[in-house]
Structure 1
Amino acid sequence: MELADRAACTGRSGLNWLLHRAAQKLGAAIQEAAARHDLTARGQLVLTALCAEEDSRRTQLALGQALGLDKTTLTAELDRLERAGLIVREPHPNDRRVRVPVITDRGRSVQDEVAELHQRVEREFTAHLAPQQCRELQATLERLIASCGGPDSGSCL
Protein backbone atom coordinates (compact mmCIF):
# COMPACT_ATOMS: atom_id res chain seq x y z
CA MET A 1 0.00 0.00 0.00
CA GLU A 2 1.39 3.40 -0.93
CA LEU A 3 1.86 6.09 1.69
CA ALA A 4 -0.86 8.24 0.09
CA ASP A 5 -3.31 5.31 0.26
CA ARG A 6 -2.53 4.72 3.94
CA ALA A 7 -3.01 8.41 4.70
CA ALA A 8 -6.50 8.24 3.21
CA CYS A 9 -7.43 5.58 5.79
CA THR A 10 -6.65 7.78 8.78
CA GLY A 11 -8.31 10.76 10.37
CA ARG A 12 -11.70 12.13 9.40
CA SER A 13 -11.61 10.62 5.93
CA GLY A 14 -10.71 7.09 7.03
CA LEU A 15 -13.18 4.32 6.34
CA ASN A 16 -13.50 3.41 10.02
CA TRP A 17 -14.26 7.01 10.97
CA LEU A 18 -16.77 7.44 8.13
CA LEU A 19 -18.60 4.19 8.88
CA HIS A 20 -18.64 4.91 12.60
CA ARG A 21 -19.98 8.46 12.17
CA ALA A 22 -22.66 7.31 9.71
CA ALA A 23 -23.68 4.54 12.12
CA GLN A 24 -23.80 7.02 15.03
CA LYS A 25 -26.01 9.45 13.14
CA LEU A 26 -28.36 6.75 11.88
CA GLY A 27 -28.36 5.04 15.29
CA ALA A 28 -29.36 8.26 17.06
CA ALA A 29 -32.28 8.74 14.68
CA ILE A 30 -33.31 5.08 15.09
CA GLN A 31 -33.15 5.42 18.90
CA GLU A 32 -35.34 8.52 18.73
CA ALA A 33 -37.92 6.62 16.66
CA ALA A 34 -37.93 3.70 19.12
CA ALA A 35 -38.24 6.08 22.08
CA ARG A 36 -41.57 7.31 20.68
CA HIS A 37 -42.90 3.92 21.80
CA ASP A 38 -40.91 3.82 25.05
CA LEU A 39 -38.47 1.34 23.53
CA THR A 40 -34.73 1.33 23.22
CA ALA A 41 -33.20 0.51 19.86
CA ARG A 42 -31.97 -2.72 21.48
CA GLY A 43 -35.51 -3.51 22.65
CA GLN A 44 -36.81 -3.05 19.13
CA LEU A 45 -34.05 -5.32 17.86
CA VAL A 46 -35.13 -8.02 20.33
CA LEU A 47 -38.78 -7.65 19.28
CA THR A 48 -37.77 -7.91 15.62
CA ALA A 49 -35.81 -11.10 16.31
CA LEU A 50 -38.74 -12.59 18.23
CA CYS A 51 -41.14 -11.77 15.37
CA ALA A 52 -38.80 -13.38 12.85
CA GLU A 53 -38.53 -16.65 14.76
CA GLU A 54 -42.05 -17.20 16.04
CA ASP A 55 -42.20 -20.72 14.63
CA SER A 56 -38.82 -21.74 16.05
CA ARG A 57 -38.60 -20.19 19.48
CA ARG A 58 -35.14 -19.65 20.95
CA THR A 59 -34.08 -19.76 24.55
CA GLN A 60 -32.85 -16.54 26.13
CA LEU A 61 -29.29 -17.83 25.81
CA ALA A 62 -29.68 -18.61 22.09
CA LEU A 63 -31.36 -15.25 21.46
CA GLY A 64 -28.51 -13.43 23.19
CA GLN A 65 -25.94 -15.31 21.14
CA ALA A 66 -27.79 -14.58 17.89
CA LEU A 67 -27.96 -10.86 18.70
CA GLY A 68 -24.47 -10.61 20.16
CA LEU A 69 -25.82 -9.54 23.56
CA ASP A 70 -24.39 -10.77 26.82
CA LYS A 71 -26.68 -12.43 29.37
CA THR A 72 -26.89 -9.41 31.68
CA THR A 73 -27.71 -6.95 28.91
CA LEU A 74 -30.32 -9.22 27.35
CA THR A 75 -31.94 -10.07 30.69
CA ALA A 76 -32.32 -6.37 31.53
CA GLU A 77 -33.86 -5.69 28.12
CA LEU A 78 -36.24 -8.66 28.41
CA ASP A 79 -37.26 -7.45 31.87
CA ARG A 80 -38.18 -4.03 30.41
CA LEU A 81 -40.08 -5.60 27.51
CA GLU A 82 -41.94 -7.97 29.83
CA ARG A 83 -42.95 -5.14 32.22
CA ALA A 84 -44.30 -3.25 29.21
CA GLY A 85 -46.38 -6.28 28.17
CA LEU A 86 -44.48 -6.70 24.90
CA ILE A 87 -43.12 -10.18 25.65
CA VAL A 88 -43.69 -13.06 28.03
CA ARG A 89 -41.13 -15.62 29.11
CA GLU A 90 -42.43 -19.15 28.97
CA PRO A 91 -40.79 -22.29 30.33
CA HIS A 92 -38.93 -24.35 27.75
CA PRO A 93 -40.94 -27.49 26.90
CA ASN A 94 -37.97 -29.78 27.61
CA ASP A 95 -36.33 -27.93 30.51
CA ARG A 96 -38.51 -25.89 32.86
CA ARG A 97 -35.42 -24.10 34.25
CA VAL A 98 -34.89 -22.46 30.84
CA ARG A 99 -37.05 -19.57 29.64
CA VAL A 100 -38.16 -18.82 26.11
CA PRO A 101 -39.06 -15.19 25.32
CA VAL A 102 -42.23 -14.92 23.23
CA ILE A 103 -43.57 -11.73 21.69
CA THR A 104 -47.13 -10.77 22.62
CA ASP A 105 -49.75 -9.39 20.25
CA ARG A 106 -49.12 -5.94 21.71
CA GLY A 107 -45.38 -6.44 21.22
CA ARG A 108 -45.91 -7.41 17.60
CA SER A 109 -48.03 -4.31 17.03
CA VAL A 110 -45.44 -2.01 18.62
CA GLN A 111 -42.63 -3.72 16.71
CA ASP A 112 -44.50 -3.19 13.42
CA GLU A 113 -45.00 0.51 14.18
CA VAL A 114 -41.38 1.05 15.19
CA ALA A 115 -40.11 -0.92 12.18
CA GLU A 116 -42.13 1.40 9.97
CA LEU A 117 -40.60 4.42 11.74
CA HIS A 118 -37.12 2.92 11.25
CA GLN A 119 -37.74 2.49 7.53
CA ARG A 120 -38.81 6.13 7.34
CA VAL A 121 -35.67 7.19 9.24
CA GLU A 122 -33.48 5.18 6.83
CA ARG A 123 -35.24 6.72 3.83
CA GLU A 124 -34.69 10.22 5.26
CA PHE A 125 -31.07 9.39 6.11
CA THR A 126 -30.37 8.32 2.52
CA ALA A 127 -32.72 10.81 0.82
CA HIS A 128 -29.81 12.63 -0.84
CA LEU A 129 -28.73 9.40 -2.56
CA ALA A 130 -30.24 8.04 -5.75
CA PRO A 131 -32.11 4.72 -5.32
CA GLN A 132 -29.30 2.91 -7.18
CA GLN A 133 -26.72 4.42 -4.83
CA CYS A 134 -28.71 3.17 -1.82
CA ARG A 135 -28.80 -0.34 -3.27
CA GLU A 136 -25.08 -0.20 -4.05
CA LEU A 137 -24.26 1.07 -0.55
CA GLN A 138 -26.20 -1.75 1.06
CA ALA A 139 -24.68 -4.36 -1.25
CA THR A 140 -21.18 -3.01 -0.60
CA LEU A 141 -21.65 -3.08 3.18
CA GLU A 142 -23.04 -6.63 2.98
CA ARG A 143 -19.98 -7.71 0.95
CA LEU A 144 -17.61 -6.08 3.43
CA ILE A 145 -19.28 -7.85 6.36
CA ALA A 146 -19.33 -11.20 4.56
CA SER A 147 -15.71 -10.88 3.42
CA CYS A 148 -14.44 -10.95 6.99
CA GLY A 149 -15.33 -14.65 7.23
CA GLY A 150 -16.27 -16.50 10.37
CA PRO A 151 -19.46 -16.06 12.34
CA ASP A 152 -21.18 -12.71 12.45
CA SER A 153 -20.46 -11.94 16.10
CA GLY A 154 -20.61 -8.90 18.30
CA SER A 155 -23.51 -6.80 19.39
CA CYS A 156 -25.85 -5.45 16.77
CA LEU A 157 -25.96 -2.27 18.87
Structure 2
Amino acid sequence: MGKRAGAPRQDLAAMLAPLMRELLAAEQSVLAKHGLTMWGYAVLSTLDRSAFRTQAALAEAINADKTRIIRTLDDLQDDGYIERHPDPDDRRVRLLAITDKGRDVKDAVQDEIQRGEERWLGELTQEERRVFLRALARMAPG
Protein backbone atom coordinates (compact mmCIF):
# COMPACT_ATOMS: atom_id res chain seq x y z
CA MET A 1 0.00 0.00 0.00
CA GLY A 2 1.21 3.47 -0.82
CA LYS A 3 1.55 6.20 1.71
CA ARG A 4 -0.94 9.05 1.49
CA ALA A 5 0.34 12.52 0.91
CA GLY A 6 -0.25 15.19 3.54
CA ALA A 7 -0.60 15.09 7.28
CA PRO A 8 -2.86 12.36 8.65
CA ARG A 9 -6.13 13.48 10.16
CA GLN A 10 -8.35 11.93 12.79
CA ASP A 11 -11.42 9.99 11.76
CA LEU A 12 -14.54 12.14 11.42
CA ALA A 13 -16.19 10.48 14.41
CA ALA A 14 -13.13 11.18 16.57
CA MET A 15 -13.27 14.84 15.57
CA LEU A 16 -17.04 15.23 15.85
CA ALA A 17 -17.75 13.22 19.03
CA PRO A 18 -16.23 15.74 21.51
CA LEU A 19 -18.02 18.61 19.76
CA MET A 20 -21.31 16.69 19.77
CA ARG A 21 -20.96 15.97 23.50
CA GLU A 22 -20.49 19.70 24.16
CA LEU A 23 -23.37 20.68 21.86
CA LEU A 24 -25.74 18.16 23.43
CA ALA A 25 -24.78 19.25 26.96
CA ALA A 26 -25.45 22.88 26.03
CA GLU A 27 -28.80 21.94 24.46
CA GLN A 28 -29.80 19.89 27.51
CA SER A 29 -29.80 22.91 29.80
CA VAL A 30 -31.91 24.90 27.32
CA LEU A 31 -34.37 22.03 26.97
CA ALA A 32 -34.65 21.58 30.72
CA LYS A 33 -35.33 25.29 31.16
CA HIS A 34 -38.28 24.95 28.76
CA GLY A 35 -39.48 21.63 30.21
CA LEU A 36 -38.69 19.58 27.10
CA THR A 37 -36.71 16.42 26.53
CA MET A 38 -34.42 15.90 23.55
CA TRP A 39 -37.07 13.54 22.09
CA GLY A 40 -39.79 16.11 22.69
CA TYR A 41 -37.76 18.75 20.86
CA ALA A 42 -37.09 16.31 18.01
CA VAL A 43 -40.83 15.60 17.71
CA LEU A 44 -41.78 19.30 17.69
CA SER A 45 -39.05 20.17 15.19
CA THR A 46 -40.11 17.36 12.86
CA LEU A 47 -43.81 18.17 13.08
CA ASP A 48 -43.06 21.85 12.45
CA ARG A 49 -41.40 20.94 9.14
CA SER A 50 -44.28 18.80 7.86
CA ALA A 51 -48.03 18.46 7.99
CA PHE A 52 -49.93 15.73 9.81
CA ARG A 53 -47.87 12.59 10.30
CA THR A 54 -48.71 9.21 11.69
CA GLN A 55 -46.98 8.13 14.88
CA ALA A 56 -45.17 5.41 12.93
CA ALA A 57 -43.95 7.87 10.26
CA LEU A 58 -42.83 10.31 12.94
CA ALA A 59 -40.91 7.61 14.81
CA GLU A 60 -39.17 6.66 11.58
CA ALA A 61 -38.36 10.31 10.78
CA ILE A 62 -36.67 10.85 14.15
CA ASN A 63 -35.14 7.36 14.25
CA ALA A 64 -37.05 6.27 17.35
CA ASP A 65 -38.95 3.13 18.21
CA LYS A 66 -42.65 3.90 17.70
CA THR A 67 -43.64 2.29 20.99
CA ARG A 68 -40.99 4.21 22.97
CA ILE A 69 -42.10 7.69 21.84
CA ILE A 70 -45.68 7.23 23.03
CA ARG A 71 -44.81 8.66 26.49
CA THR A 72 -43.15 11.65 24.80
CA LEU A 73 -46.22 12.19 22.63
CA ASP A 74 -48.49 11.89 25.68
CA ASP A 75 -46.43 14.51 27.52
CA LEU A 76 -46.41 16.87 24.53
CA GLN A 77 -50.16 16.49 24.14
CA ASP A 78 -50.73 17.05 27.87
CA ASP A 79 -48.69 20.28 27.61
CA GLY A 80 -50.76 21.41 24.61
CA TYR A 81 -47.80 21.24 22.19
CA ILE A 82 -49.26 18.65 19.81
CA GLU A 83 -52.66 17.29 18.82
CA ARG A 84 -53.46 13.68 17.95
CA HIS A 85 -56.56 12.78 15.98
CA PRO A 86 -57.80 9.49 14.58
CA ASP A 87 -57.16 9.10 10.86
CA PRO A 88 -60.59 9.20 9.14
CA ASP A 89 -59.34 6.51 6.71
CA ASP A 90 -58.02 4.19 9.44
CA ARG A 91 -59.24 4.78 13.00
CA ARG A 92 -56.35 2.68 14.39
CA VAL A 93 -53.90 5.35 13.15
CA ARG A 94 -53.31 8.64 14.97
CA LEU A 95 -52.46 11.77 12.98
CA LEU A 96 -50.17 14.29 14.65
CA ALA A 97 -49.89 18.06 14.34
CA ILE A 98 -47.93 20.71 16.21
CA THR A 99 -50.04 23.40 17.89
CA ASP A 100 -49.29 27.12 17.96
CA LYS A 101 -48.16 26.71 21.57
CA GLY A 102 -45.88 23.85 20.50
CA ARG A 103 -44.43 25.94 17.68
CA ASP A 104 -43.82 28.83 20.08
CA VAL A 105 -41.87 26.67 22.54
CA LYS A 106 -39.97 24.95 19.72
CA ASP A 107 -39.03 28.34 18.23
CA ALA A 108 -37.93 29.68 21.64
CA VAL A 109 -35.77 26.61 22.28
CA GLN A 110 -34.30 26.68 18.78
CA ASP A 111 -33.46 30.40 19.03
CA GLU A 112 -31.75 29.90 22.38
CA ILE A 113 -29.83 26.83 21.16
CA GLN A 114 -28.64 28.64 18.05
CA ARG A 115 -27.54 31.68 20.06
CA GLY A 116 -25.51 29.28 22.22
CA GLU A 117 -23.95 27.72 19.13
CA GLU A 118 -22.20 31.03 18.51
CA ARG A 119 -19.64 29.82 21.06
CA TRP A 120 -18.41 27.42 18.37
CA LEU A 121 -19.45 29.13 15.15
CA GLY A 122 -17.87 32.37 16.35
CA GLU A 123 -14.47 30.68 15.97
CA LEU A 124 -14.98 30.68 12.19
CA THR A 125 -14.70 33.44 9.66
CA GLN A 126 -17.90 34.30 7.78
CA GLU A 127 -16.67 32.29 4.77
CA GLU A 128 -15.66 29.28 6.90
CA ARG A 129 -19.03 29.41 8.63
CA ARG A 130 -20.93 29.51 5.32
CA VAL A 131 -18.93 26.58 3.92
CA PHE A 132 -19.16 24.58 7.18
CA LEU A 133 -22.94 24.94 7.46
CA ARG A 134 -23.44 24.19 3.76
CA ALA A 135 -21.24 21.08 4.02
CA LEU A 136 -23.11 19.85 7.12
CA ALA A 137 -26.44 20.34 5.37
CA ARG A 138 -25.20 18.34 2.38
CA MET A 139 -23.76 15.53 4.49
CA ALA A 140 -26.67 15.21 6.93
CA PRO A 141 -28.88 12.18 6.31
CA GLY A 142 -32.44 12.83 5.27
- What TM-score do you get using the length of structure 2 for normalisation? 0.85
Identity of aligned residues (%): 38
AA of the residue aligned to 2:109: V
Judged with a 3 Å threshold, the aligned counterparts in structure 2 of structure 1 residues 82 and 145 are, in CA distance, closer, same or farther, namely closer
Q: Which residue of 2 aligns with 1:73?
A: 68
CA distance in 2, matches of 1:2, 1:18: 25
Distance 2:103 2:140 in 1: 29
1:42 CA drift (Å) = 2.1
Query: Greater relative contact order (Cα 8 A, min sep 6): structure 1 or 2?
Result: 1
Q: Rate the CA distance shift 1:82–1:2 in 2: closer, same or farther, 3 A.
A: farther
What is the CA distance between 1:108 and its match in structure 2?
Answer: 1.4
Of residues 42, 45, 53 in structure 2, which corresponds to 1:58? 53
Higher helix residue share: 1
Partner of 2:101: 106
Cα distance, 1:52 vs. partner? 1.5
Does residue 1:25 correspond to 2:22, yes or no? yes
Do residues 116 (structure 1) and 111 (structure 2) align?
Answer: yes
Which consecutive unaligned segments of at least 5 residues does structure 1 have?
Answer: 147-151, 153-157
Correspondence for 2:136: 141
Deviation at 1:19, TM superposition (A): 0.9
Query: Aligned equivalents of 1:111 and 1:29: distance in 2?
Result: 16
1:2-41 to structure 2, matched below 5 A, reads 8=8, 13-41=10-38
Change over 3 Å in CA distance of 1:76–1:144 after alignment to 2:
same
Note the alpha carbon deviations across 1:47-106, whole angstroms, 9 max, x for none. 1111121xx311010111112111133222212212222112111121111111221221
TM-score with structure 1 length normalisation? Answer: 0.77
Aligned length: 141
Instruction: Give a deviation string over 1:3-43, Cα, whole Å, max 9, x none.
Output: 678x945xxx4321111111111111112212110001221
